[in-house]
Amino acid sequence: RYEPTWDSLDTRPLPAWFDQAKFGVFIHWGVFSVPSFGSEWFWWYWQKEKREPYVKFMEANYPPGFSYEDFGPLFTAEFFDPNQWADILKVSGAKYVVLTSKHHEGFTLWGSKYSWNWNAVDVGPKRDLVAELATSVRNRTDLHFGLYHSLFEWFNRLFLEDSTNAFKTRKFPTSKSLPELYEIVTKYQPEIIWSDGDGNAPDTYWNSTGFLAWLYNDSPVRDTVVTNDRWGAGSICTHGGFYTCSDRYNPGHLLPHKWENCMTIDRSSWGYRRDARLGDYLAIEDLVKQLAETVSCGGNLLMNIGPTHDGRIAVVFEERLRQVGAWLKVNGEAIYGTKPWRAQNDTVTPGVWYTFSPKEGKVNAIFLNWPVSGSLELAEPRAKLGETQVKLAGYKEPLKWVALGEKGMVVALPQLTPQQLPCQWGWTLQLTDVN
């Protein structure tokens, strides 16, 4: 059994499914999806920081005295079809999904008895959105279902009172935050608890170690659940399950501890933005690059989309997810279930990232640019004459290559028209029997 101390909790091995999965989808959905302007931090930027674009937006579009709480009934979700969401998630090639059960605004997407009249069952959709998505994901896909949960809430009076008392009082965690965590685990049995938002309070204020000891010892998901590292000021990148370290974290080198790169398709926001332009969205080439870099360095990629207030996954997000899925159909062997190789990227040819498939003993070289010369120089793999074999994922014939001794090898790529290429954005060489 695990003790409620970091020394004990940090010895828990991460359930193997998480490292094998490699790719998940993050979903930021809540009352912030109603104004859908600027950022999911809309309430904070408008009311607390009084940023000019937000203040002007409200003055121009809403009557005087309109409060953030008035957005609640407008969060309607009338087009939310959890089966359709599950089908899009499945075709994306993701192996897990993480939904914001509650963001910093405090609005819960389930009918929490600790969030009276500020939840999706009492206000707005009048539906348990967490339950509906969990059911569809479990019935229609093999994805692991996870929940994001914000520890603090920007404008909750109990939290603000504790904060004023330098967190010597603990009214908010004992009456709101912790009961919610126990509630979502018991009710929905998520296999990921993605914690966030410590409000500058230490983990002792949140009793994070007490909750995690229960989660790992006695909860219904004790054997399969994974957690991140955001459990109080100072715990990030130090304690917990996998490390996130910061948003959009992509170190570009191998880390000794399992980590995750959580990032957004919309460069500027996690929630849906009506004011987004096409150039604000990462292109599929960018996403494939992020996936290859992240996995080669031992990380998982958690790619975020923001649905609309009425429950739609915007077409641009659906397209990106389908494109990643199409890429993974061809190149998935170089991603799922792989381990980092001794080299993460090539030292001679830029834009080449390596992974290793332990079962087949294969080195995968994911290259992001198709060379004009038609041949690809790889400095890292040492080829063995008469033994080494090279294949292009999605192409039948073996490829010819020349060994350069200590300097690696040169692989002759097949002469293909754009239509004949196995995929459009990034390709994989599969090397067997290399030193």
pLDDT per residue as tens digits for the range 350-383: 999 999 999 999 999 999 999 999 999 999 999 9
CA–CA dist 339, 316 (Å, integer)? 32
Give the pLDDT band (50/70/90) at residue 433: very high
How far from each other are the two terminal CA atoms of the chain, in whole angstroms?
42
CA–CA dist 339, 303 (Å, integer)? 20
Q: What is the pLDDT of residue 435?
A: 80
- Give the architecture (CATH level 2) of 339-432: Sandwich (2.60)
Evaluate whether 81 touches 309 at the Cβ level (below 8 Å). no
Domain 6-334: top CATH class: alpha beta
Convert the pLDDT of each residue in 269-324 to its tens digit: 999 999 999 999 999 999 999 999 999 999 999 999 999 999 999 999 999 999 99
Evaluate whether 299 touches 261 at the Cβ level (below 8 Å). yes
Please name the amino acid found at residue 28. Answer: H
The domain segmentation of the chain, as residue ranges, is: 6-334, 339-432
